Amino acid sequence: MTDAEIKQLLDEKYEEYCSVDFIESDPISIPHLFEEKQDIEISGLIAATIAWGQRPTIIKNANKAMRLMGNEPFRFVMEHSENDLRNLDGFVHRTFNAEDLKHFIRSLNSIYYKHDSLEDVFLLGIEEGDSNLMNSIHQFKKEFFAISHEKRTQKHVADPMKGSSAKRINMYLRWMCRPNDKGVDFGLWNRIPTSILSCPLDVHSGRNARQLGLLNRTQNDWKSVEELDASLRKFDAEDPVKYDYALFGLGVFT
């Protein structure tokens, strides 16, 4: 296929899959339960963090986490007691367990005492001329684990500086930053340019990207993310990550 044909295919699939019909079967349905900014940020971060495995199970367990927080995640984060945290015992999604969830709540509490929004933390790591959010995500992880924590929980927040593709956190950033023009992403954060967002790279999107000639590298690591970014920016330099819908949908819906 020529570049023009690939762009046409990706644009068509973006229009097909980026619709409100997509929400119900995707983890993005969790932050769509809320209207307040901080509730959306917190619920989105937790849902994105556990977004691996079967999608119905991800949604089920993310909903459970919200129920355990009284379906008021920001209030729970800011006002919880140690007894409230004990009520989380028994929560588990694959290797993410109650102790991990408790750290997320404690860390978010610490962050929100210093910042109005999680966007502020990601902005700390962005420097003029950055072509992606590698350093931003790295700095976010440092801030997130600045308080006392169990070392095991660190694996649940990726660090692209260690080579990770950071698939789930890139997906979260897409949710928060992309405009709400289709009613799917939130456009909640407007200080991080969509031009430096990266496509969430996993087995499905990677396979389709390679079949289309957008990605040659065989590993799904950060170098592959950068290679895919470069390919997608040729088709839309301002909003390349919109093509995540196309690459994901080609793997899941067709």
pLDDT at residue 252, rounded to an integer: 52
Q: Which residues contact 6 (CB under 8 A, 6 or more apart)?
A: 212, 213, 214, 235
pLDDT in tens, 126-153: 999 999 999 999 999 999 999 988 888 9
The predicted pLDDT at position 254 comes to: 44
pLDDT tens figures, 149-175: 888 899 999 999 999 999 999 999 999
Q: What is the pLDDT of residue 148?
A: 84
Are 126 and 135 a contacting pair, CB within 8 Å?
yes
pLDDT at 64 over 90: yes
Domain ranges of the chain: 3-252
Alpha helices in the chain (DSSP H): 3-17, 37-49, 55-68, 73-79, 82-86, 98-114, 118-123, 134-144, 167-177, 203-211, 222-233, 244-252
